Amino acid sequence: MPIAIVTARATDGIRAPAVTIETHLANGLPAFQIVGLPEAAVRESRDRVRAAIQTAGFEFPRRRITVNLAPADLPKEGGRFDLGIALGILAASEQVPQSALDTREFLGELSLDGHIRPVGGALPAGLAAGEAGHQLVLNPDDGREAALTGRADIVTARHLGEVCAALNGGPALPAAEPPAACPPAYPDLADVRGQHRARRALEIAAAGGHHLLMVGPPGSGKSMLAARMPGLLPPMDDAEALETAAIHSLRGTRHLHEDWRSRPFRQPHHTASGVALVGGGGTPRPGEISLAHNGVLFLDELTEFDRRVLDVLREPLETGVIHISRAAHQAEFPAHFQLVGAMNPCPQGFDCDLGNACQCTPEQRGRHRKRLSAPLLDRIDLAIDVPRIPPAELGRDTPDPDAEDSTTVARRVAAARRLQLERQGCLNRMLEGRALQQHASLPEEERALLDAAAERFRLSARAYHRILRVARSLADLAGAPTIGRAQLTEALSFRALDHWRVE
């Protein structure tokens, strides 16, 4: 059989487009050529495949071999096509039947002795294979990941010989089994001492999907509070969990077998580059904002980040998606995350405290604040002061009777989110245009109060609308059908940074 056709899967964003591996054997001097926009690692498949076929006990054809990876305009990378290329050569030389390959897809890198190694992106490939109605063959480690879909025929093999035996009518390959589900485990909000206002802000942010900024001296508990945010969010449904896991599958950054249903909590260092945050590279890869999809992105020491790096977050904060364009390739990654930032109120270290005398000059404080651009601050819904915790509160042996645990707060958050989804089909943070006017309208007196605040603090239209969204979330937490004065004034109180505009 001079031509054989095998199907594999590439990576393109979080999609796994099909790649047709066409193998042609021709007379002439022995040669082995791979075409179809392969990168260096794919071109090196020639040596891996030749050695794997020979060590597995098969005959490597001494003919002119041409392997085409179609479509030709889709970049191909990594060793994920090794198994498909090897089977294409064996099918073209009639050592395995072509008919056994027609309804199967193959992913795996081959070692020189024929063993199949795992590759990235198994979960998106499993989803795509299931939609195509094909069986997917891959390494057992990748198989457990791909089996999370629950909607595809996934089988596993450890060696090229096992695959060939199954294709030739031998023992069937074992089905992949998904890992046992582990309930998500998050830090408990009850562990936080004091900080009742910050705890309230966390609840509001979780209820409406709002972005939050905490300003306070070192050691006041900002990082501890941020780590409790995922535990206040409702559990992910199957679609959210699979989409989130698919992103992490591309990067190999998460133990999908253990916590694939947990809300992501990403905390990049302040030296991270713009590409590290939003993604990129010659072949685009997801960045921290996409790895935080359906979860929380926590930026500690916010003012220590490069200002240009922070400004790349402005568009994803609004749209919930990031488009990465390169000369030869474009990709799109989802980025629906909640931003939680933390910063010191001024450049000083441990001598700095809110409400007390500070050694920083007004010029130093101004430079410190200007590390955050006004357009970025406009995209943050809630900003609060987090004061230092009194020693008496820290040294108390008995728990705070007013400190609720995460489970109690999460129930209120879930109830508020249900109201939003039933009323408008989205979270309050995403209200825009007519939907915002309809669901976050104000009585005349409250409207006058908000207008006066906007004039006083020179609020932009974006900040004005964000106050309305926060007030709507407060009304939902209270079970109120409309926004009242209490909700509006509380929403205004969570704009701690707006006084910077008038200093």
pLDDT tens column, 51-93? 999 999 999 999 999 999 999 888 888 899 999 999 999 999 9
How high is the pLDDT of residue 95? Answer: 95
Q: 137 and 200 share a domain?
A: no
Phi/psi of residue 163, each to 5°? -65, -45
Mean pLDDT for 321-343 is 87
348 or 451: which carries more pLDDT confidence? 451
Q: 318 and 456 share a domain?
A: yes
Mean pLDDT for 370-398 is 82
Residue 472 one-letter amino acid: R
Q: 345 and 307 share a domain?
A: yes
Whole-angstrom CA distances from 178 to 1, 127, 146, 154, 248 are 38, 14, 8, 10, 17
**Residue 153, in any domain of the structure:** yes
**Residue 400, in any domain of the structure:** no
How high is the pLDDT of residue 75? Answer: 83
Q: 116 and 68 share a domain?
A: yes
**Residue 181, in any domain of the structure:** no
Q: Tell me the C-alpha distance between 312 and 297, whole Å.
A: 14
Phi/psi of residue 371, each to 5°? -70, -15
pLDDT tens column, 141-154? 899 888 888 877 99
Q: 18 and 138 share a domain?
A: yes
pLDDT tens column, 103-116? 999 999 999 999 99
Mean pLDDT for 209-232 is 92
How high is the pLDDT of residue 502? Answer: 40
Q: 143 and 43 share a domain?
A: yes
Give me the CATH number covering residue 324.
Answer: 3.40.50.300
**Residue 178, in any domain of the structure:** no
How high is the pLDDT of residue 501? Answer: 47
Question: Taking all residues of the chain, what is their mean pLDDT, rounded to a whole number?
Answer: 88
Q: Is the pLDDT of residue 94 over 80?
A: yes
Give me the CATH number covering residue 70.
Answer: 3.30.230.10
Residue 462 one-letter amino acid: R
Domain that holds residue 345: 189-389+407-502
Mean pLDDT for 304-331 is 87
Cβ–Cβ < 8 Å for 108, 116: yes
Q: pTM, whole model, 2 decimals? A: 0.88
Q: 116 and 233 share a domain?
A: no
**Residue 179, in any domain of the structure:** no
Q: 252 and 353 share a domain?
A: yes
Q: Give the pLDDT band of residue 260 (cuts 50, 70, 90).
A: confident
**Residue 315, in any domain of the structure:** yes
Q: 326 and 445 share a domain?
A: yes
In a 13 Å sphere around the CA of 458, the CA atoms on its Cβ side amount to: 7
pLDDT tens column, 149-174? 887 799 999 999 999 999 999 999 99
392 or 3: which carries more pLDDT confidence? 3
Q: 24 and 57 share a domain?
A: yes
Number of domains in the chain: 2
Closest by Cα among 208, 105, 95 to 473: 208
Compute the chain's Rg from CA coordinates: 28
How high is the pLDDT of residue 280? Answer: 83
Candidate from 210-219, 225-234, 346-355 with smallest mean pLDDT: 346-355
Mean pLDDT for 238-247 is 89
269 or 330: which carries more pLDDT confidence? 269
Q: Tell me the C-alpha distance between 328 and 307, whole Å.
A: 28
Q: 352 and 498 share a domain?
A: yes
Q: 346 and 472 share a domain?
A: yes
